[in-house]
Amino acid sequence: MQQQLSARPRVLGKGQTIACSKLRSVAVCAAMKVAVTGAGGRTGGLVVKKLLEGGADKFVAVPIVRSQKSADKVESTYSLAKGSAKVLDISSGDVAAATTALQGCDALVIATSAVPEILKLSLIPVILAKLFKKEGVRPQFRWKEGQTPEQVDWLGQKVQIDAAKAAGVKQVVLVGSMGGTDPSNMLNKLVGEDGGQILQWKRRAEQYLVASGLTYTIIHPGGLVDEEGGKRRLAVDVDDGLLKRKTRSIPRADVAALAVGCLGLAEATNRSFDVCADPVGEGEPSTEWGALLDGLGGRNCDYSINSQAEPAEPVVAGTP
């Protein structure tokens, strides 16, 4: 019986990634094993879907979710074998558990994010304001207990980054959000006196990833919409330049396709950029991810702009 050799992915060319090793004269190729946190969410779920569409010879998807209920749902939705989805509470601060969940993975796509809950009673004045054509009345939100931006978008992502480094993950693709250069962005003021500062906490986690030494790709999509992907031309820029555009939304499905397309892509290595989509019919839909990123001319987002704080030194599990 021939001995099976382990393999790691290597970039073969634009948009083409495969893991191969040679056994005698026969090339043995292994699919890239990709963990996806936040796989129970709308964007994370689409990342899992896109990986599965890529074929078992190219990708092995490892969905990671917060609860067993979510794991069961993800396995059922994508016809995965029982136990394929892993349960991990990233807000627990347990780097060892996160490292275990990522063992054997070649890449990690971080699609976790704090999600505000709308206060239903606050909709009443909003509806009345619309009836009487009064402007400036908005609904109110709250964060679920244990799921604030600080706990999820900073500390939770920090745990994932430390665990990825300890587990030997080769690339981290982080799905963030545009608006991080502006502390006064309305998304920072959703809840309570300090509003949650979600974009600032996301930005701090991104700084931490950049400083970690891991190969990274940070994607800042514009406003996420639940529409069909693959129908629009995408536009990329840095440092919130796309916020000046009239149209700055993007389908979640296109974000998922881009995240998967960046896995092992040379042009996506150690890159941080913003992305949104043109209206349907304006230009050819984007499919060549390397060419898309080449349009940046080598530019990356500048984390010295309105940074909340300097990131701490990354640590590996088991070190002080």
Residue type, 272: S
Residue 155 is assigned to a structural domain of this protein: yes
Task: State the pLDDT at residue 184.
Answer: 87
| Predicted confidence band of residue 82 (pLDDT cuts 50, 70, 90) | very high
Residue 126 is assigned to a structural domain of this protein: no
* pLDDT tens digits, one per residue of 273-307: 999 999 999 999 999 999 999 999 999 999 998 76
Residue 197 is assigned to a structural domain of this protein: yes
As a whole-number percent, the residues of the chain with pLDDT over 70 amount to 85
| Domain ranges, residue 289 | 32-116+146-295
Catalytic residue among 177, 212, 272, 286: 177
Task: State the pLDDT at residue 201.
Answer: 95
Residue 121 is assigned to a structural domain of this protein: no
| Contact between residue 52 and residue 31 where contact means Cβ atoms under 8 Å apart | no
Mean pLDDT rounded to a whole number for the chain: 87
286 is catalytic: no
Burial (0-12, 13-18, 19+ Cβ within 10 Å), 308: middle
Query: How far out from the chain centre does Cα 289 lie?
Result: 16
Residue 1 is assigned to a structural domain of this protein: no
Taking the C-alpha atoms of residue 202 and residue 157, their distance in angstroms, rounded to an integer, is 8
Residue 231 is assigned to a structural domain of this protein: yes
Q: Reply yes or no on whether the pLDDT at 5 is more than 50.
A: no
The 3-state DSSP class for residue 133 equals coil
Q: Reply yes or no on whether the pLDDT at 13 is more than 60.
A: no
Burial (0-12, 13-18, 19+ Cβ within 10 Å), 186: exposed
Total domains, the chain: 1
Task: State the pLDDT at residue 194.
Answer: 62
| Predicted confidence band of residue 23 (pLDDT cuts 50, 70, 90) | very low
Residue 50 is assigned to a structural domain of this protein: yes
Residue 109 is assigned to a structural domain of this protein: yes
Q: Average of pLDDT values for 190-213?
A: 89
Task: State the pLDDT at residue 123.
Answer: 87
Q: Average of pLDDT values for 243-260?
A: 96
Phi, psi of 196 (to 5 degrees): 95, -25
As a whole-number percent, the residues of the chain with pLDDT over 90 amount to 71
Assign residue 85 the CATH number of its domain. Answer: 3.40.50.720
Task: State the pLDDT at residue 308.
Answer: 53
